[in-house]
Amino acid sequence: MSLRQEKASYILRRLEELYPETPIPLDHSDPYTLLIAVLLSAQCTDVRVNKITPALFKKADAPEKMVKLTVDEIASIIKPCGLSPRKSKAIHELSQILIDKYEGHVPQSFEALESLPGVGHKTASVVMAQSFGIPAFPVDTHIHRLAQRWGLTNGKNVEQTEKDLKKIFPEDKWNKLHLQIIFYGREYCSARGCDGLSCEICSAFNILKKNPIITKK
């Protein structure tokens, strides 16, 4: 067994002990509201998104209702999330596409999701994993940082890190594991809260050794 596989086995075991339940951090009621919430979470915290979406979804919790709002009306509601001009335009446009092409339903394929305005691979992966139960490993900057810090990848971007993590972790663990890593990072191994040795997993791997590993935040 390679060193990375040993680390992967330890991480799987320990994170399952720490986080046997993995509630989805973004409040939603169906694939559409999850899609909108994930889109809003770009460069915004889940906590803030959850404060904004009740007002938005009260007015429009389905594509047919969303397109009845103007882009400016959507922007005024989601402004605290940041990037509101771009996000509001994307929300309005993708809602119309869902009506026109998918009978108002969120499609269950990466290709279809990633063709929607404002929806990248990470957003599509979250929806596929959390709404449809299809194996995916959404990698954001936080998971990317931890994977680097734990020596699971040499990837210089989230795309390569995703490929590396998919190779070393069983496919049937991906959907739950990506949330477990996020929870662990927030609680024990944040960008400024761990120097690469302080938390349990980092110290178990003796990651610092003689020279600290510098990871991009």
The 10 Å Cβ neighbour count of residue 154 is 10
CA distance 174 to 162: 10
| Cβ-contact 150, 157 below 8 angstroms | no
Q: Which residue is it, tokens 């890190």?
A: 161
Maximal CA-CA distance, the chain: 60
- Which pLDDT score, from 0 to 100, does residue 102 have? 98
* Residues belonging to the active site: 122, 140
Q: Which domains does the chain have, with CATH numbers?
A: 3-22+137-205 (1.10.1670.10), 31-132 (1.10.340.30)
pLDDT of residue 172: 97
What local confidence, expressed as pLDDT, does residue 206 receive? 65
> Mean pLDDT, consecutive 10-residue segments, the chain of 217 residues?
86 96 96 98 94 98 98 97 96 98 97 97 97 96 91 91 96 97 94 82 68 45
Number of H helices, E strands in the chain: 12, 0
The pLDDT of residue 167 is 96
Would you state the pLDDT for residue 1? 66
Amino acid at 115: S
**Cβ 35 vs Cβ 138: under 8 Å:** no
**Cβ(204)–Cβ(10) under 8 Å?**
yes
Contact 130, 78 (CB under 8 A): no
